[in-house]
Amino acid sequence: MRRMIRAACGALALAAVLAPAGALAQGEAPAPAAPPAAKPSTAIPPEQTFRIGVVRQVPEQPAWVAPLSAPPEDLGIAGAQLGIRDSLTSGRFLKLDYNLETETVPTDGDPLPAAQKLADAGNNYILLDVPAAQLLRIADALRGRDVVLMNVGAQDDRLRQQDCRANVFHVAPSRSQLTDALAQFLVTKRWMNWFLMTGRTDGDKLYAEAVKRSAKKFGAKIIAEKIWDYGPDARATAQSEVPRATQVGDYDVLITADELGEFGELVAYNTWLPRPTAGTQGLMPLSWHPTMENWGAAQLQSRFFKQTKRMMQPLDFQMWAGVFAIGSAGIKTRNSDIAKVRAELLAPEYDLPVFKGVAASFREWDHQLRQPILLTHATNTVTLSPQSGFLHQRTPLDTLGFDKPETKCKLD
């Protein structure tokens, strides 16, 4: 009986504790439940939203490029999309958002209106894959506006030298960075005597100039030069044309300056002497290659392949790096303000993980991204430059391209 009394008393006490103030009498209808309290808004404020635009002008494809070997339609753009996803992976924890808007311009189109359209729409960061002359037009037109331009395509040295612009950062390596990377390796192998074969385009001539500068810089010697003047029709007669064109005496390596691929692939195994080829074909200096796997590169390659079902090419990597540079600076500043992000990109302690062994960073004197350069052929990455033994007072990465004492860049 005592147990029953204790249980009844306990039940009454519990009911008294749980009953709200002004409990209802027996038979009284309950009042409607109060609406739940509104949850605080989770919208990301405008100052923490990074609006990034991309302008890509499709280059003219050579007539000899087969349909199956033509570049993919999303070349470069796919890398920018992955850069957005990678930035969101860390940015979402800091309530940072990243938006991407793209404009593709035909070969005979004008990229300037597309860039202005993106800037007018509020895209304060714009990646540009356009020819050098068009990049300068865009940079000058947007000068004075709160817009940072990322050059992800043009390799012209003049954009980092006499034609540099304060509102442009260069993620794409310059031709001098590429040829310096190749020269270091060739000198390390003691292949000091070079035969330079140059194509007929302006880009080929600029590449050849960079090769000559690199040879002089690192003590190699160009023992012979030739201009390829056989045209693309020589593909059918390469076994006879190339041996005749390469009878220039003895040399260690043949360097091709053929950015469009008109003749470079014909040279290998067809030279008069059994010699390796390098440059725009053969052993190539590149910002990225599908065979790159070390230092976490395999994970980047895997994420890209999962997204696109193809391998990452140099322009994909350069656009990824351009977006991720903005994203990483945003994570450190936690604000999309142009002045803060720009200062962070140029800060001495800023570093950008690019999955190539060491972090990349921007040079304050010409806004060029200093980064390792891959030396690769079709099926293997042979090495990365700078090579061991090439020292510098700041970083070995500054042995590639124009160093501060050599610069003609005057940023205003």
Stronger pLDDT, 35 or 386, i.e. the higher one? 386
Of the candidate ranges 8-22, 46-60, 156-170, 349-363, the one whose mean pLDDT is the lowest: 8-22
Does the pLDDT value for residue 258 go beyond 50? yes
Does the pLDDT value for residue 81 go beyond 70? yes
Residues 101 and 204 in one domain: no
Residues 103 and 221 in one domain: no
| Mean pLDDT value across residues 254-261 | 96
pLDDT band at 237 (very low <50, low <70, confident <90, very high): confident
Total tally of structural domains belonging to the chain: 2
- The pLDDT score that the predictor gives to residue 17 is 35
- The pLDDT score that the predictor gives to residue 412 is 74
- The pLDDT score that the predictor gives to residue 18 is 37
Residues 267 and 362 in one domain: no
CATH number of residue 278's parent domain: 3.40.50.2300
| Mean pLDDT value across residues 176-193 | 98
Residues 281 and 292 in one domain: no
CB-count exposure of residue 194 (10 Å: 0-12, 13-18, 19+): buried
Residues 225 and 268 in one domain: yes
Residues 81 and 197 in one domain: no
The dihedral of CA 254, 255, 257, 261: what is its sign?
A: positive
**Assigned domain for 14 exists:** no
For β-strands 125-129 and 49-57, DSSP reports them as: parallel
**Assigned domain for 118 exists:** yes
For residue 162, the enclosing domain spans: 46-58+72-173+288-371
Rounded to the nearest integer, the mean pLDDT of the chain is 90
Residues 234 and 260 in one domain: yes
**pLDDT tens digits, 263-313:** 999 999 999 999 999 999 999 999 999 999 999 999 999 999 999 999 999
Stronger pLDDT, 24 or 215, i.e. the higher one? 215
